[in-house]
Each structure stands twice: as C-alpha cells, then as structure tokens.
Chains A and B, each alone.
Chain A
Amino acid sequence: MSDIAAEAGIGPFVRRELLAANLPPPAKRGLIGWAREHLISGPFNITMTILSVLLILLIVPPLVRFMLIDAVWTGDNREACVNASGACWPFVKAKFGQFIYGFYPIAERWRPNAVFALGALLLAPLLIPRAPFKRLNAILFFGVFPIVAFVLLTGGNFSLFQFIIGRIVPLAYFVGPPWEIMGLTASFWLDYLISSVLIVSLTAAIAHFLGGNPRAVARMASLLLFLLGLALLACDFDFGLVPVETPAWGGLLVTLVVAVTGIVVSLPLGILLALGRRSELPAVKAFSIVFIEFWRGVPLITVLFFATYMLPLFLPGGLSINGLLRALIGVALFAAAYMAEVVRGGLQAIPKGQYEGAAALGLGYWQTMGQVVLPQALTLVIPGIVNTFIGLFKDTTLVLIVAIFDFLGQIRAAFTDPNWSTSTTLFTGFAFGAVVYFIFCFSMSRYSMFVERRLSAGKRH
C-alpha cells in the first residue's frame, strides 16, 4: 500500500495542525443545565413553561393569601371575620367538635376518642410489614375491636330477652320477673345455655349420622357459640356507660364508622364471593356472579336508597332498624362486590402449581384455600384492598343524602349557622374539609404504593 502511494507521489494524509476545539456541550448537570433540558429546550417547551408559571401564579398566591396571610385566627363569632378577605379559622375552631363528633354528648367524647386511639394502636402494627404477631393483631383488629368500639360508642347494656328456645318456649315465665344482674337478663342467658347445648349435641349427632367426626364438629360448634356468647355478653353487660343514640353521632366519627365497618364486613364477604365466583359448583358460581355484577352495576346512592326505603319493607312489620345500621348494610353489600373483584384478581395471579401442590399433599378445598392460596393471594392484593378502602372512605360522603351527618354533612350543616355567616365561611369550611380528606386519602394511597413497591421488589431487575 505505502509503496504504491509512494510511487504515485502522494504520501499518507497526515494533518499538521490541530483543529480548533469545539465548544463544550451544554451542561446537563447543575441548576442551569437541568433547567435548559427540562424547561427551555425548545419553543414548545418554553411555551409550556410560561403557561405553567401563569397557572401557578393564578392559583398558588391567592390560595396562600386566603389560607394564611389574610386569614383571621382569633375570635368568638362572626364579628371577627365579617370584614376579612381570608379564611375564618375561628369558625373551624368553634365547630371543630361538631365536625369530629357530631352531636355526641360533650361529657362522653372520651369514648369516641378511646375508640380512635385503640383503632390507631391496633392498625399501626398491622400496616407495618415488619411488626410481629400479624395473626393475633388481625384477630384483634377485625374481631375484637369492632365489638369494643360498638359497646363504647353506643354504651352497650342492650336488653336481650330471647335467644332461640325462648322464642318457642316462654322461658321468662319459668324464671319469673325479668330480673337482671349487672345488666344481664337471667332468662336470656338461661335460654342461651340451653340453646347452645342443644345446638352442639344436634350438630354432633348429624355428623355422627353422616359418618363424620362428631368430636371435631362439636368442638367447632362450641367454639363458635362461645365466641358469639362473649360478643353478646359484652353487648348485654352494664358497664355503666350512658347510652348514646346513633342520631347524635356525626362528623368524622360517622365517616370512620361507616368506612371501617364497610371494610371489616366486606373483606370476609368479598373473599367468599370471590371463591364462589371461581367455584366449580354452577349454582354457587351463578349466585356469586349475579350478586357481584348487580352491586357493581348500580350507583352507591341507589344502594343507600334501597337500604333506607326498600329494606324496611322487606322485614317483619314491628322490626325497625336504626338509620345508621341501614346505611351500613347498604355500604357493606356494595363494598363486598368490589372487594370480591379485588380478591379474585389475587386468586387468578396464583399459579396453578400451588393448587396442584396442595392437592398432591392431600389437602381439601378449605385447607387448600385457607393454608395455601388465600395467604398468598391476599398479600398480593393489599394495594387493591387499600385502594378499595380509599374509594369507600370517599364514598361515605354519600350518606349525607340519606340524612346521616358525616364529616361533609356536618361541614355543610355548619354553613347555615347565622352566628358564623360571613362571606368567607363557605370557603373556610371547604378548605378545612379538603385538607382533612386529602390527608386521609393521600396517606392511604402512599401506603398502598409503598406496599406495591415492596411486593414487586423481587421482580425488579
């Protein structure tokens, strides 16, 4: 090669002088480089930046001025705020008790407070993945806490008269006058004992007749009846609490009661429905599908109207159900359908090998589901469950349409108070409501995202 080049009289091209150095590329690091890339990289980008800045200027300064700078912080009535152009925080301060407890008697407000504290105390370790004793914790939160909360909030000491046998045989007649010890009605507990013994022996006899294991069945029945008895005992016992009727409840208390009851009831119901939807028994499957699709196909408000106006017609004439309880039934049925679909998603994500492995070990249906499939499936759908709960929490506002004053209902009711009618009262109330709802929902959604990231940690590269 070089020979030929030499012969031809042209040497290899070698540059003699250096090229002028290029300008350094625009910095990608640092504040300026970052801004160049993310804010002003082209005409379109610059337009977008200007538009965003305008939008922010339009919203943020007035909001800050309203909430903080021009706001009134002290005062006892509308006089303090009547000339203010900012938020009237004394209004929120004066109505705070009403927003949180409704018209729950002031002397008894330690009870909802105790329920809030107990709930938070039990919920926190349940949400922290590393905290130990999950099973015990879940039993306490889903089983014991609702009963304690129920007794604390209502006051307990319900007068129970007949269980099962008492409806057929007038036991009260034999016991004599309805004497009570510590709020416990003698005739009821006599009835309960006789009925329990009868039920346990009856189930054991049936199991024996069908060739099952009478001892296991009897043990199971006694356990269930014992737990039921404990719950009834808690409701019947006179703890000396002043009874507080549910119409006096309100505010955030009702919002939380509806949402938590909805989730506590809908979770087991939803699991059963999800299992039913994947069942091989055609009747069970059809029933589950119809139930789920029906409740998912109608708006929640129709469900609440159903529970408020239609349900009482379906029950025996003399029986009147409490308004809050009706709403709770509606919300629980509605939430159960959504929960069923969330759980079904988890069930479908479990590989077939898990079922086959369980079958190979000789596990029955309930053992397979309870020991192998559900623990995995439920862990997978924790984010979905939390998201359902967020939806439920937001949807509880609908109970105000059926005249139950939840948090939003109390805020709206407070607007009509002439003592606080100023031009900024409305905005103040909405600002406070927005902050409270946002804190609840946002923190729950962040938690759900945290769990999601944790669950997918093993799948990331």
Chain B
Amino acid sequence: MVDIAERAPRERGSLLTNPLARSIFIQATLLVLVIGAGWYFYENARANLAAQRIATGLGFWNNTAGFGISQTLIPYSETSTYGRAFVVGLLNTLLVAGLGIVFATALGFLVGVARLSKNWLIAKVAEVYVEVIRNLPLLFQILFWYLAVLSTLPSPRQSFSFFGLAFVNNRGLVVPEPIFNEGSGAVGIAFLAGLALAVIVRYWARARQMRTGQIYPAGRTALALIFGLPLLVYLVLGAPIRFDLPELKGLNFSTGLRIIPEFIALLLALSTYTAAFIAEIVRAGILAVNKGQTEAAYSLGLPPGLTLRLVVVPQALRVIIPPLTSQYLNLTKNSSLAVAIGYPDFFALFAGTTLNQTGQAIEIIALTMAVYLAISLITSGLMNFYNRRVALVER
C-alpha cells in the first residue's frame, strides 16, 4: 500500500485539485442529481396516477363544487364552480390576514411601548403577556379560543349584549348590518377623494416647508379630509347608509350581520399571538435609538413631541420594519391553521375540501403552495422597496 502512495504522488495539475474542473464537476453532479430526482418523481407520479385512475390537469376548475361555505364575501352557492370556491377562500384568507395585521400591529405597538413604561406595574403586565403568549403554540391558542371560550358562550337567547348594538353568543357575534341605499357610492367616492386630497396636501405641505420653512398642519388637514368629506356627502344626501340593528326573533337573530365564531377565534388568536412578537420588535426598535439622539434633539430646542416624531420614530422604524414584515408574513401563513377549526379560508377550502373531492393532490397542493409563495414574495418585495427608501444613506 505504501508503494502505491509513493508511486502516485499528488500532482499539482491533476483534475482533483484543479479548481475549474472541481467546480464544473460539483455543479454537474448537482444538476444531474436534481434532474434525475425530478425525472424519477415525474415517472413515479405518472405511473401512480394512472394506476389509481386520478385525473390530471386543472379540468376540475370549472366543475360544480357542490359544497356550501359558511362565510362568503362574494355570491357563492353549492352550484358554483371550484374556481369560484378558490376565490371565496382566497378572499376569506385575505380578510382574516388583513384584519389580523391591523389588530396585531395596534396591540403590538401598545404592548411594546407599555413594556418600556416607567410605570413598573404596566411594564410587568406587558411582560407577562408577551412571555405567556409567545411560549404557547398558536394552534393551542386557536383551539382554546374556539373550543373553550366561544363554544361555551350562551345560546342566542341569552346572548351577551353590548348596549343593544352587538350581541355575542355561541353562534358568533351579531353586529348592526349596513344597508347600502342609493347614493352610498357617492360616500365611497368622497372617501377616496378625501384620501387623494390628503396625499396631495401632504406633498404640497412638504414642498412648502422645504421652500419657506413654514410648517403646515398636514396631519390634521388629512384627517379632516378623509373623514369630513364622506360625512359631509353622507349628510347632504340624506343618510344613504342605514344600519339594521340585530333583533332576536324566535331562537335566532333575524337581522344584523352575523360573524361566525370560527372567524372570531382565528382573528383573536392570530392578532394576540402576533402582537406579542410585534411588541418585542417595537421594544427592540425603540431601545436601538441612541439616547444621544434624544438629548441632541432637546439641545436643539425641539419639544418632546416633535423629538419623538421627527427623531426617534423614524430611526426606530428603520430597525422595526424588516422584522415586522416577516411577522406580517407569518400571520398570513399562520392563517392557514383555520383548517383546524373549520374557518373556510383558502387552505381549508382548496387543500382541504377540494382535494378531498377531486383527489388531485399534485395540482392542488402545488397551486396552494404557489399562492402562499406569491403572497410571501409580493409582500417581501414591497417591504424591501419601502425598506430601501427608509434605509440609512451612507455617503
């Protein structure tokens, strides 16, 4: 053996030590492995699908779904198609994720600031909240809210009432239902116009401040425009939007908008869970702003309110935004846990019911993954864009 080693000393120019040859060899091996695995899976899938007589392709898309959905934002019936059910589910997912993001952000900022409060008691309360919520699995919390809290509420006849406006019972939350009469569209348009005007005012105010140094109260004007304009139109048109108050008739509520308990449980669990993570992000973000920044602002004569708004918050946001984005994405992805309690979200309707009925696992799961992937990539793309805008510009 020693002879062999001596007879074949490692040469400098041998293929094994040549970086280029090595790089090509490694990459070619990887490529062959990936393509080989892909081909192997493809062939197996073809044989299995043929043996089990499972159809391929998206032919089921226009077939009648035949199942009911407990919450639909667009008209849907059992005779609608699978494609329609797909859209209904997607809208339900976006609804719970969108509302969840709003609530989680509000609660998270509140708790995050409370954790830094000088008040010892409230800081401790916030800390206990964060620690307890973060250390329990989300699915546990969803099941807790659904099984232990909402299902054990009284029946509709003994509902908890909130000043006769909203009622909570084991069949969900009943709130006043808005009835859109003629002219409601104008109120909506006024709202959008107010929004557009507010943006314009903000740009104009900034430009004027750059030019003359005078500050214009753009925030208050914007609020007045966004809420005042629709209110004005609403009053001028003689209140085109009415609210139908919930009314108990027999065993159930006949009027009013019923929000299903599955939605409430999911929304509660998602927002409180994510809020605990956001609170930590906010706390870290505020602590990351150097104390010298605040002191410097004070020595320039800036009052505390302006210091917070112009010096501390913009710098804290720079630290907060990237992890906040990933929390928003987590919340959206976690909304798929709806399947455990039967909230008709995208995942439950498509990868659950539709997969059960058609059996086309490959197409459906691939499509489901593609949708979540698209949501993730779009969100992180937008946030990266924003992040680049607020990022520190160094030389």
| Chain A interface residues toward B at CB < 8 A | 37-39, 41, 45, 48-49, 51-53, 55-56, 207-208, 210-215, 280-284, 287, 294, 296-302, 305-306, 309-310, 312-317, 390, 394-398, 400-401, 408, 412, 415, 423, 426-427, 430, 433-434, 437-438, 441-442, 445
Q: Of all chain A residues, which has the CB nearest B336?
A: A299
List the 9 closest pairs (A to B, CB-CB), nearest first.
Answer: A211-B14, A441-B135, A299-B333, A283-B27, A394-B137, A297-B376, A38-B120, A309-B361, A314-B41
Bound CA span A442–B137, Å: 12
Which one of B23, B137, B355 contacts A395 once the chains associate, using CB atoms below 8 Å?
B137
Cα of A408 to Cα of B124 in the assembled complex, Å:
29
A314 contacts B136, CB within 8 Å? Answer: no
B136 touching A401 by the CB < 8 A rule?
A: no
* CB within 8 Å for A314 and B119 given contacts A305-B351, A438-B135: no
Query: Contacts A302-B369, A397-B139, A401-B340; is A208 near B30 (CB within 8 Å)?
Result: no
For B2-41 the 0/1 string (1 means CB < 8 A from A) is 0011001011001111000001001100110010000001
Contact A283 B30 (CB under 8 A): yes
Contacts of B10 in A (CB 8 A): 211-213
- B residues touching A (Cβ–Cβ < 8 Å)? 1, 4-5, 8, 10-11, 14-17, 23, 26-27, 30-31, 34, 41, 44-45, 47-49, 51, 117-122, 124-125, 131-132, 134-140, 143-144, 147-148, 152, 333-334, 336-337, 339-340, 347, 351, 355, 361-362, 365-366, 368-369, 372-373, 376-377
- Complex CA gap A283/B361 in Å reads 30
CB distance from B37 to the nearest CB of A (A): 9
Cα-based distance from A423 to B153 in the complex (angstroms):
12
Q: Number of residue pairs across A and B with beta carbons under 8 Å?
A: 177
A45 cross-chain contacts in B, Cβ below 8 A: 118-119
Interface of A is mostly: helix
| Given A49-B119, A302-B372, A309-B361, 12 more pairs with CB closer than 8 A | A38-B119, A39-B119, A52-B121, A211-B17, A294-B369, A299-B334, A302-B365, A302-B369, A313-B45, A317-B51, A434-B136, A442-B131
Given A305-B365, A317-B48, A408-B122 contact (CB < 8 Å)? no
Contact: A211 with B30, CB < 8 Å? no
Name 28 interchain pairs, CB-CB below 8 A, sorted by A: A38-B119, A48-B121, A49-B122, A53-B121, A211-B14, A212-B10, A213-B10, A214-B5, A215-B1, A280-B23, A284-B27, A298-B369, A299-B347, A299-B372, A301-B339, A302-B347, A302-B365, A306-B369, A313-B362, A314-B45, A394-B136, A396-B137, A398-B139, A401-B340, A426-B148, A430-B143, A434-B140, A438-B136
Q: How far is the CA of A142 from the CA of B224 in the complex (A)?
A: 63
